[in-house]
Structure 1
Amino acid sequence: MALVFYAGHGVQVNGVNFLIPIDAAPQNERDLKHELVRLDDVIDDMASAKIKLIFFDPCRDNPFARSFSRGSARELAAPSEASGTLISFSTKHGNTAADGDGKNSPYTSALLAVLESQPQMEIEQMLRKVQQEVKRLTRGQQGPSRYGSLDGDFYFRPPEVEDSATLSRETVDKAISDAVAETVKKATERSDS
């Protein structure tokens, strides 16, 4: 399993999403491939993992907007989707995400709250809860999006399951009880006839 969480500046240029390191200072669009990190490269680097989770909470405020007018946008493009990859964007592609008033953005705040309170929840259900909370926190102005899918269920902490020996014993006891009840019922029906 591989997991990436990113919160910081993100920008789209000519349909390509970039993560902006804090020390990046590109002077022109040619510098992007040397100083910024392509989101697709991050996804490619996770290729050997069966389960790939990406939580992407970029501030969409492009600090280079004046320098790169052609092909640059505040909004991010829809990410490429790979098998076994689940990408959660803090908002839909083409929209901008709120930074929030506190330490974390509404998306990160919601994600942390759900992870802390319900770590045994299946990830798709967890992300729906995050989406609902972000919508509540932003008064409906922002709605996270998911891209891709996993091949099965994923839990950060699997739900607690009773001991299999206890389950087997309970199953056997119930089967015996049901068989005895059925035998008594049939014997009673025969004696009544």
Structure 2
Amino acid sequence: MKAQVFSLLVTLLLASGCADQPNRAETSPKPDANNSQQVATGNTQVAAANPEDSKKEVAAATQKWIDTVTSGKPNVVGEVVKLYSPNALLWATVSKQKRDTSQEIRDYFEVFAKLPELKAQDYKPVIRVYDNVAINSGYYTFTYRGENNKKTVVPARYTFVYLKDNDGKWMIVEHHSSAIPQPPKKLKPAVD
């Protein structure tokens, strides 16, 4: 099943011409009521939405993830796991292993989402939409109370890949988040 989801994502990205159009959300014509695009997702079809509306929805979905994971609520783990597709893949910020089952994702958030005083700041997204697939890549910084009650700061980079489900909800199908490494001294910074 995971191979089918990955194959579908690759097919959708290739079919949408993402290699030729780095930000299709800004260049695609808006579908009209008489000619809406259809993208197959399993046994269902979902009409492609206005790319600018989709970008806003994806931004809201990512903000919901941030707000949920840092909420500190008693049911935080269950609420975060609901944001991921059942077939999602997670390369988590403070874990060395990939997690590709709902239980493994749950196990990660049992620890991460319960870090004392967990907060996210400096969220800087770059969102691209390709019909019913969206990619949100950027930066965020996590802070929490670590050992000896010391504030721990983890600047990280991330990529969320979303797929719109049959109900029109953007679900996380892949999430990679990693601490930003120290660059070699000779490497010049890119203009950001």
TM-score w.r.t. the length of structure 1 is 0.23
Name the structure with the higher strand share.
2
Name the structure with the higher helix share.
1
Largest Rg, 1 or 2: 1
TM-score w.r.t. the length of structure 2 is 0.23
